[in-house]
Each structure stands twice: as C-alpha cells, then as structure tokens.
Homo-oligomer: A and B are copies of this chain.
Amino acid sequence: MPRISIAEIEQLCEEALPWVHILGLTVEEIGKGTCRVRMPAKEEFLRPGGTVSGPALMSLADYGMYVAVLSAIGRVELAVTISLNANFLRRPKPGAIMADCRLIKLGKRLAYGEVSLFSEGEEEAGPVAHVTATYSIPPDRAK
C-alpha cells in the first residue's frame, strides 16, 4: 500500500507545486515505491523538429520520482532531488508522455530510482527517455 494517496498528491500539487500544476502533470497509478505519471500534449512543450522538449521530459521524470519517494515514506514535502541523470533515446512525437517510476533503493537519508518515459499509446516502440535520480530525505521527516 502506498503511504500517500493520489488525492493527497493532487492536494499537495495545488498548494505547493505550482510548476506541476502549470504543466498539467497527473498521477495515473500509485503503489509503494512505484507510480505512473502523465504529461498531457501541449504546444508549449514542443521544440524544433516537432518533438517534446528535454526539459519537459525531465520535469515529468523528476515529478514521478518525487511521487515514488512519497509513496514509500509518506508526505515528506521537503524531499529534494540531489542528482538526476537523463538519457534521451528517441524523439517523441507531439503527444502525451507516460512515465513509469520505481524506487531501486530506499535508505534513511537517500532514495534512488529510475523512470522510463514513453509516448502514450506507443509503449511498444520502447522508451523515449530513461532517467535515474537520487533524492535526499530530510532527517526530520515530519511535514
């Protein structure tokens, strides 16, 4: 069972994550240490070549990792990214992007996981990007 619900995540976004709200990111599924998040198609995310821009993909991946961390430790808003490594594998066509996230290691102070990003409806073509990230968990986990 995840330690935070989709409804709680949505409330947190509205209150404290304006960027996620502006991008229109949503949580589709949540487990304990796993989640699937989605970025809708928007003209603003496109770059020359007609593909979804790298920063938009990285924003989605970073949000997915944040949700995956909170799904494992509860509403610890002050968890922060300390490193993120993104590899762009295929040029995504304009359209929504899905990101599957899972924690690989959950320690007391650090969490590490990976995110695979796909063009929605074209999962069989393989990931458009693959991201790994490390989050720092504050010693005092209380919100």
Contact = CB atoms under 8 A, between A and B. Distances in A.
Q: How many residues of A sit at the interface, in one of the four size bands?
A: 35 or more
Interface of A: 16-19, 22, 43-49, 51, 53-56, 58-59, 62-63, 77-78, 80-91, 104-105, 107, 110, 112, 114, 116, 126-127, 130, 132, 134
A83 B87 contact: yes
B105 A55 contact: no
A114 B114 contact: yes
12 contacts: A18-B44, A18-B46, A19-B56, A49-B80, A54-B62, A54-B84, A80-B88, A82-B88, A82-B134, A83-B134, A87-B132, A105-B126
